[in-house]
Every structure is written in C-alpha cells, then in structure tokens.
Amino acid sequence: MPYVILDSQTKKRELKKVAPSLYYCTPERLKRYHDSLCFQKRKVKKYRLQQRRKRVGYILMWYKIENHTDKNRKIVHRMIEKSLGFPVARSLIAFPYIHYQPEMPFLSPQRIYARAQSLDITMSRIAVLTPLGKTQERLREKAEHYMRSKYEHLIRRVLKAPYDRKTRSEIRQSYKKLKNKGRTLSVILGINVAKLERKTYTIIWKWEKTGQTQKK
C-alpha cells in the first residue's frame, strides 16, 4: 500500500487524501517524490535503522490483517497501546524515532515487527520519515488526538464500571500506562494532554471514594 506525505499544495491535486498531509499514491507516481517523503511497502528506500539519540523523525509501519482474524487485530492494537505508536491513517502507525533504552516501559517498533512476523501478520519493513513544515505539526496533532481519545475512553469506562478489586486494579493499570505514554510523548513531540490527565485522575479518585463508601 503506497503512501506519500507532502506539504506542497501544488502536488496534492492528483493524490487521494487519507489523513492530514498523508495521501494515497499509485506506485508509478510514487517514483516522482523524494524517498524521505514517501513510504511504500518493500520498495521505498530503506534507511539503516540505528538507535540514534538525536535523530528527528518517525518510524512508519504498515500492516494488513485479514477480516476473519480478529484475534490478531486485537494483538496489534494491544501492542500499539503498550508502545509510543499512534495511528496516522488506516493500518499505518507512526512511532517517534528515539533511542529506546532497556528500562523504558514501552514496546519498541522492532519488537512489534518481530512479534507480528511470528504471528504471520503482514507488516511492512520499517522505514524512517523526516517530516517537513506543517507535516510535523499535523503528526503531533495526530498523536495528541490519539491520546485524548484514549483518556476519554478510560473516563467513559470508569463512569460505567462496577466497583470491585479486579476492575479497580485494571483501571489503575490503564491510567498508569496512559500517563506514562502521554508524558513521554509530550517530552518528545510537545503534545499537551496534562489537563485531560488531571481530569481522568480526579474522576478515578472520586469513583474509588464513592465505591469504598458504598461498600461500607
């Protein structure tokens, strides 16, 4: 599935838009664009993926899951949640290109790719994109929108959840993972989800207090 990320308005007319700054492009037309602006399964110029601390960019991975394999779809989504990745288009995930240290609580793109291969999930080889101009801002917006949607989903879950030990433990773990991911992405990409983080914490605290009172 070929994609291209562009900033020039004059080049967008012949392409089909699939997300902000992200366009679908036929393999024939893809050859016109610079390799650092495009991502194509197996055919885009590959960058040697090294753990460089100061490199600015994103790792892009495209995956394909058959309709009848819902289990694999859940596995991929779970891996994305445990990583610093966020979706930018259908079946396309972006990861900040950073140095993954052993003590970091996040799955690296390499581990996700290896896991997908072991499950026979079709996933492209890793390619690195260095975005330009407004594309950089829009990728940040995508990351912020993704984190906001996850916090809002957790809030809805808390408001409907029964108060018991298992549910309380699951919600605490979910909040902890979201908080770590949100704060890490805000340091790397400059996104801002601090207000929603505090709101979620307050709702969870009130839910626990009410549940304990009702239990007594």
What is residue 86's predicted lDDT score, i.e. its pLDDT?
93
CA separation for the pair 203, 215 (Å, rounded): 18
What is residue 38's predicted lDDT score, i.e. its pLDDT?
58
What is residue 42's predicted lDDT score, i.e. its pLDDT?
39
What is residue 119's predicted lDDT score, i.e. its pLDDT?
84
Long-range Cβ contact pairs of 106-110 (< 8 A, separation 24 or more) = 106/82, 106/180, 106/181, 106/184, 107/79, 107/82, 107/83, 108/83, 109/59, 109/61, 109/83, 109/85, 110/49
- Model's pTM, two decimal places? 0.72
Domain ranges of the chain: 3-129, 134-215
Query: What tens-digit pLDDT sequence spans the chain (216 residues)?
Result: 566 666 555 456 677 776 656 677 776 776 676 555 555 443 333 334 444 444 557 888 888 887 667 788 888 889 999 999 998 877 788 898 877 777 888 998 888 988 888 888 888 766 677 766 667 788 888 899 999 999 999 999 998 888 888 888 999 999 999 999 999 998 888 888 889 999 999 999 999 887 754 554
